[in-house]
Structure 1
Amino acid sequence: MKELIIKSSDPKMIFSQIHSCINGEMRQEWGETVLTFDNEIGKGIIRTISFNWGVSLIDCDMTLYEETKIIFDNEKLSPIEFIFITEGFLNYSENNTSSYTTLAQFQNTIISPKRSAKNTFLFPKGVKLKVNFIRIIRKEYLKKKNNNICYLNDLLVTLFNDNVGDDAYQHGGSFSLRIADEIKLLNNVQDSGMLRSLSLEGRLYLILSLQLLEHNNFVEKMNLPEAISKEDISKIHKLTSYIVDHISEDISINILSSESGLSPKKLQLGFKILFSKTVNEYIRQLKLEISRDYLKNTDLSVSEIVYSIGIKSRSYFSKIFFEAYAILPTDYRKHLKNKNSSLS
């Protein structure tokens, strides 16, 4: 495992230390610092940009070839970090212990460690990771005219006004595709110069406002229409077993809604978050994967396989199988038999 200890909260100093560890090419343009690397450590892009009032962005899009631990060991009070992962996952420990919290994809996370805590992130090996850190130095942000901190919920008001750092705070909130969509737009800004800086700053504040809104609704036990809870995610995971057990039946969204207690809209949102597919797309893919295994590992006829996975038309099955695998079911089985014959 690689380990990097960072002694500063300043984004430029953080980048300098990361650069010395990862190497790669570092460039600066329009106020952004961008580190690109493709070597034995991994492949990816890390960038940072700082704005007024103690607000900065660190954005990572990378895959590391070795598990890597980054420890922020700073005597000063650490910034409040608004973290959102659009691909992959991270593990977090407030004080570099063996006990980690997993920061999940699409989950809104807010972290504020104690002063002098060894704020630790464990980056996984071989996992494509896209993560945004919006970092706020509270003392600087409170100088901002019309910061309107007083209008936040009591928890966040206390957090922003804490200049001592006696207490740690960690929020693992709802899962939100709205925030994910806005981060995608942030990462796709193509402007240059002043237009780019303004676009990035505007989108950053929009994302931050959505993260604050999610926190408020989570604390007030309200649901955003585009958010989903851990409990909902757990119910959807259980549904995947139900779908496998009833794959030969006609599985409708209404049946799954009744089985899980989730609304059809919440079901669609959950499947999109977990599997990047609608409910029907997920079921169809599962039917195809099961049929492929049957073709490979059993002597069932194609008609028997079609019946066993709950598809009524053999011609429709052949059509969607070909769309998925670029080969007809009968040809796929022949290919497997010929391959096995050549090996015997």
Structure 2
Amino acid sequence: MRKIAVQSLPLLEVITDISQALSISYQENCGEYHLDLPPDVGEGYIKGINFDGGFGIIMYKCNFKEDVEFHFVVDDVHPLKFLYCLVGELHHRFQDGKENNSIEQYQSSIVASKNRNGHILHFKANTDIEIGSLEIDREKFKIKMDCELKNLTTELKDLFRDKDASKQFYHNGYFSLQIADLFRNTESFENNDFIRRIYLEGKAYQILTHQIIQFHDDLQDSGSRTVLRQSEIHQINKATRIIEEEINNLDNIEKIAERVGLNINKLQQGFRHMHSGTVNEYIQNTRLDLAKKLLNKTDYNISEIVEKIGLSSKSYFSKVFKERYGISPSDFRKKNSRE
């Protein structure tokens, strides 16, 4: 296993320590530091940027040829870290601890070491790993954000204001769709100048905002949580398939939510995110899309089509079809049969 000691805190010195340990150089552009892994170590890169007020972000996108540990062991108070595993799996432990905390894909962890104790990040060999780390120097950050911190819960307020690191803190959970989208946006933004710095700072603060919202949501019991996690996307996809495949004899929304293992609030949020509408709107769209196909490509009469799309009233079907397409079902069929 390769161990890389990072004995500095400012981001430039962190990147410098890593580059020296790997015997490579790094690049800098408008305060953003970037180093590419040498071929004998692996593939990918590590990059980061500091913003005003003790706030910064580091991104690891790597595939190492052997297990690698980054030992952040500077003899000083360490930053509060928000770790996000976008791809792969990361292991974290406190410098004086033996327990490895596993951070799996789509999970995030809030970690704060005690006193001058550091952090160790473990990357497995031959594994694509993508990690985002928000880094907060609490002494500097408190000066900039003291007014905003007053509105946090007691637990988070104490965590952000613990500038002397008097307490150790660890919290783990699955991160939200919004956070996943924000990280994707930071990767896809191509400007390489001052505009990029402003853009990245804005996205970093948005990630932190959603993380705080998510932390509050994590404190609720599972049936009351409203923040949809990235890990729950497959359940939204399952609900989508249920609607499309069972449209002629569809369960109610409560039953669909139960079948896919989500509460109704999360199911609705997922459909708004993925389909730009409510579950009922998606059901209605699915029925009308299917009706158009059946009118255009089959000889089913209107009553049969109404049954196949899961409705019971011909008059209601005609009403909603005309509202959507500006033509009655029978006239739509006549028009398309002539074309």
The CA distance in 1 between the partners of 2:191 and 2:10, in whole Å, is 26
Q: Is the 8 A contact 1:67 1:124 kept in 2?
A: yes
The CA distance in 1 between the partners of 2:198 and 2:120, in whole Å, is 32
Shift of 1:136: 0.5
The CA distance in 1 between the partners of 2:140 and 2:98, in whole Å, is 33
Residue deviations 1:132-154 (CA, integer Å, cap 9, x gap):
11101010011116651111111
Shift of 1:263: 4.9
Q: Does 1:85 align with 2:89?
A: no
Corresponding residue of 1:5: 5
Shift of 1:34: 0.7
**Structure 1: gaps (5+ residues):** 240-249, 271-344
Aligned to 2:81, the other structure's residue is in SS state strand
**Structure 2: gaps (5+ residues):** 239-245, 271-339
Shift of 1:175: 3.4
Q: Is the 8 A contact 2:95 2:119 kept in 1?
A: yes
Aligned to 1:148, the other structure's residue is in SS state helix
The CA distance in 2 between the partners of 1:67 and 1:181, in whole Å, is 29
Provide the TM-score with structure 2 as the length reference.
0.67
Aligned to 1:187, the other structure's residue is in SS state helix
Residue deviations 1:134-182 (CA, integer Å, cap 9, x gap):
1010100111166511111111110111123221001102332221111
Counterpart of 1:77, as a letter, is V
Q: For the structure 1 residues 204 and 261, does the alpha-carbon distance in structure 2 shift closer, same or farther, using more than 3 Å as the test?
A: closer
Residue deviations 1:60-86 (CA, integer Å, cap 9, x gap):
111111101111112221111111111
Counterpart of 1:102, as a letter, is S
Q: Is the 8 A contact 1:107 1:172 kept in 2?
A: yes
Corresponding residue of 2:195: 195
Counterpart of 2:32, as a letter, is E
The 5-angstrom pairing of residues 289-308 of structure 1 reads: none
Q: For the structure 1 residues 179 and 61, does the alpha-carbon distance in structure 2 shift closer, same or farther, using more than 3 Å as the test?
A: same
Corresponding residue of 1:69: 69
Q: For the structure 1 residues 260 and 139, does the alpha-carbon distance in structure 2 shift closer, same or farther, using more than 3 Å as the test?
A: same
Aligned to 1:144, the other structure's residue is in SS state helix
The CA distance in 1 between the partners of 2:5 and 2:250, in whole Å, is 49
Q: How many residues align structurally?
A: 255
Q: Does 1:226 align with 2:228?
A: yes
Identity of aligned residues (%): 22
Counterpart of 2:2, as a letter, is K
Residue deviations 1:59-115 (CA, integer Å, cap 9, x gap):
111111110111111222111111111111100111354421101211221111112
Corresponding residue of 1:35: 35
Q: For the structure 1 residues 209 and 96, does the alpha-carbon distance in structure 2 shift closer, same or farther, using more than 3 Å as the test?
A: same
Provide the TM-score with structure 1 as the length reference.
0.66
Corresponding residue of 2:123: 123
Aligned to 1:142, the other structure's residue is in SS state helix
Q: Does 1:26 align with 2:26?
A: yes
Corresponding residue of 1:53: 53
Counterpart of 1:116, as a letter, is R
Shift of 1:226: 2.0
Shift of 1:260: 6.2
The 5-angstrom pairing of residues 273-288 of structure 1 reads: none
Higher mean Cα deviation, 132-141 or 256-265? 256-265
Corresponding residue of 1:150: 150
Flag the structure with larger Rg.
Answer: 2
Corresponding residue of 2:332: none
Counterpart of 1:192, as a letter, is N
Q: For the structure 1 residues 223 and 63, does the alpha-carbon distance in structure 2 shift closer, same or farther, using more than 3 Å as the test?
A: same
Shift of 1:13: 1.2
The CA distance in 2 between the partners of 1:153 and 1:97, in whole Å, is 28
The CA distance in 2 between the partners of 1:22 and 1:9, in whole Å, is 18
Q: Is the 8 A contact 2:68 2:122 kept in 1?
A: yes
